[in-house]
Amino acid sequence: MKQIIVGNWKMNGLTADAAKAADDIGAAMGQDVSGAQVVICPPFTQLALVGPKLREHGIALGAQDCHQDPCGAHTGDIAASMLRDLGVEYVILGHSERRRDHNELDETVREKAVAAAAAGLTPIVCVGESEDQRSAGDSQEAVGWQIQGSLPQGFTGIVAYEPVWAIGSGTAASQQDIADMTQFIREELVRQFGDAGKTIKILYGGSVNGRNAADILPLANVGGALVGNASLAAETFMPIVRAAVDI
């Protein structure tokens, strides 16, 4: 089964930057990396620009968030149906930066996941513990509660484990930490969704780069990666994609 490598450009990329990154990543794609599903999630302002460029090379278009309502008086927000209208296939939900900066609750993330699925998008729901929770020995409890609260009944999307303390730090969690937590997440998914929980993909995110991807991606319950800064340029992103293909 193909690994999924998702590039999250976050709040980066004016038109020229986004066009160059999409062109460069597209040009680097070929048959040698066709064994991985690649998704790029640019800022909302660049979706229409980079979407056609990515699709030419078999790269799926993703978004970084959506609103839980299908339409309405929500200034500054964007509905899942609007994303689908632009050719978006995936959407990241509940990222720790959204939870922190916008006070998003598990309930909100769950409602967004429902809205995304209803619009035909695949939700990528993020879970992960903070440094304080980790230091207190509460990592599994914190992640377990997020899984229970953030995933709706009948969830068929993707779960991304992103330890908050590793995001943007330049240092990923250890292989043992990732193996232990993704095993716990798998058990929680099976407990919550039965046999369907066995097939939900689990991605790892948190300072993934071309140096550590080959060690992280082969772990038993890791089905791909959610990549931040390293996805902004082909020279740092493509080694991760190739590591996924080589598994």
Binding residues for substrate: 8-10, 168, 207
How far apart CA 96 and CA 10 sit, in angstroms, is: 12
How far CA 216 is from CA of 75, 189, 205, 208, in Å, comes to: 40, 21, 10, 8
Give the Cα separation of 171 and 140 in Å (integer). Answer: 20
Q: What is the largest CA-CA distance in the chain?
A: 48
Residue 74 designated active-site:
no
In a 13 Å sphere around the CA of 191, the CA atoms on its Cβ side amount to: 10
List 67, 95, 104, 129, catalytic entry: 95
Rounded Cα–Cα distance for residues 140 and 153 (Å): 21
Active-site residue, selected from the candidate residues 97, 104, 129, 162 = 162
104 catalytically annotated: no
Q: Which residues have a catalytic role annotated?
A: 95, 162
